[in-house]
Amino acid sequence: MPVLIKILIIFAFILVLIKKKLNIGLSLLLASFLFWILFQIPLSKFFSIFPLGFFAYENTNLLLSVFSIMLLGNLLSNNGELVKLVQGIEERIRDSRLVSPALSALIGFLPMPGGALFSAPLIEASYSSNSLSSQLLTFINYWYRHVWEYFLPLYPVILMASTITGLSLAWIIIHHLPFTILALIGGWLVIKNQKPVPNAKTKTEPMPLKTFLRLFIPILIPVFVVLLNQPVWLGAAMGIVFCVFFHRMNLSTLSRLMFHRFSWAMMLDVVGVIFFKTVIIESGSIPILVDSFLSSHFPILIIGMAVPFLIALISGYSSAFIGIAFPIILPLFSEYSIQQIFPLIFISGYAGITFSPAHLCLILTCRHFKSDLISTYRLLFFPFLLVFSWGVIWFFLAR
């Protein structure tokens, strides 16, 4: 059976399970075993590579980060801090349609594992969220969380791309900035028809700036920790410690606030993502996929777009399509300059990231807002098509 057909079967299998309302994490676990069977990976290899792969530092770091972010989010939500913080933001942004995108985009300035969990509770606490569907809230949190990733050097994918291609960061920033501009425009076209919601929580006096900044501290601490290249879970833990000392909480109160309505199903989602990624990466199946395309008779341009897309689609990680696909496919483009082809193949890979059912931000956002993945895809399609168009336009402009 051709490799491409196998991947499409696995992708369809995941979507069917999710459509049947099966837990996303469990769906990915089952898809991992289907992947193992279709690619005929020896069972003995599972026992030799899985423990090392699953418990690798980056995976345990991811689990700890998501767990700690959820604890901090629960604490701030249950003690009323998030509501007050969002009220302060709403006082400074008059158009209610801009509040939620601004909150998501603000958190999106920094890459962090499970970062969508930082912005989702903020969006949920805004007064305009009550008038929006769960699908639209999911779109806003997911879409605006990633509008900077196309060009911002704080994201590792941009640094990796510069290193692998030899293109300067300045060149990538300038030529990828249109992706972000189109992403902002496309997102606005999706949400602009929502009528502005009057703020019912009017106050006689605006929140003092000192109070507003103090409410931001538990969220800013993890941000600064990430800037210092330290784990997100450490920053979240420091944010919890700040809340404990500021509010003089005892252990009983702290435990109650952190674990009230804690989503263990969300943790299962993360386990499913890690399991799925481990099977794909550690099994050695991605080189098989790449080799099958290289040995085919497809045009080089199609291969250059399809390989990053499929690797990103099945892995859900941007570092995978950059780090694995690009070193292999870039030497094939002898008839194109790297300046001409790079934006197009980059955005092709990012298309896989955007629609991957293994993309953690998408999974966590759907879980938080209890929304349907298929309906979310429908909202994502048009704005991403608009973003993708820049890759095509630049390809022809640079000829």
> Does residue 248 lie within any of the structural domains?
yes
pLDDT of residue 197: 57
Does residue 263 belong to any structural domain of this protein? yes
DSSP code per residue over 304-325: HHHHHHHHHHHH--HHHIIIII
Say how far apart CA 364 and CA 233 lie, in whole Å.
17
Q: Does residue 265 belong to any structural domain of this protein?
A: yes
Separation CA 267–CA 273 (nearest Å) = 10
In single-letter form, the type of residue at position 59 comes to: N
Walking along the chain (399 residues) 10 residues at a time, the average pLDDT comes out as 77 81 80 83 71 74 80 76 73 76 80 72 74 87 92 79 86 94 95 65 65 79 76 84 82 77 74 78 69 75 87 80 78 85 94 89 87 90 96 93
- Give Cβ neighbours of residue 327 (< 8 Å, ≥ 6 apart): 164
Closest by CA to 190, choosing from 380, 395, 55, 396, is: 380
Decide if 368 is inside a domain.
yes
Number of structural domains the chain divides into: 1
Residue 44, pLDDT score = 73
Structural domain including 285 reads 46-194+206-397
Is position 24 within any domain? no
Q: Is residue 9 part of a domain?
A: no
**386: nearest Cα among 191, 179, 188:** 179
Tokens encoding 149: 């990733």
pLDDT computed for residue 141 by the predictor:
92
DSSP assignment string, 326-379 = HHHHGGG-TTS-HHHHHHHHHHHHHHHHHH-TT-HHHHHHHHHHT--HHHHHHH
In-domain check, residue 13: no
pTM, full prediction = 0.74
**CB of 42 closer than 8 Å to CB of 10:** no
- Residue ranges of E strands in 38-81: none
Q: What pLDDT is recorded for position 391?
A: 96
60 occurs within a structural domain? yes
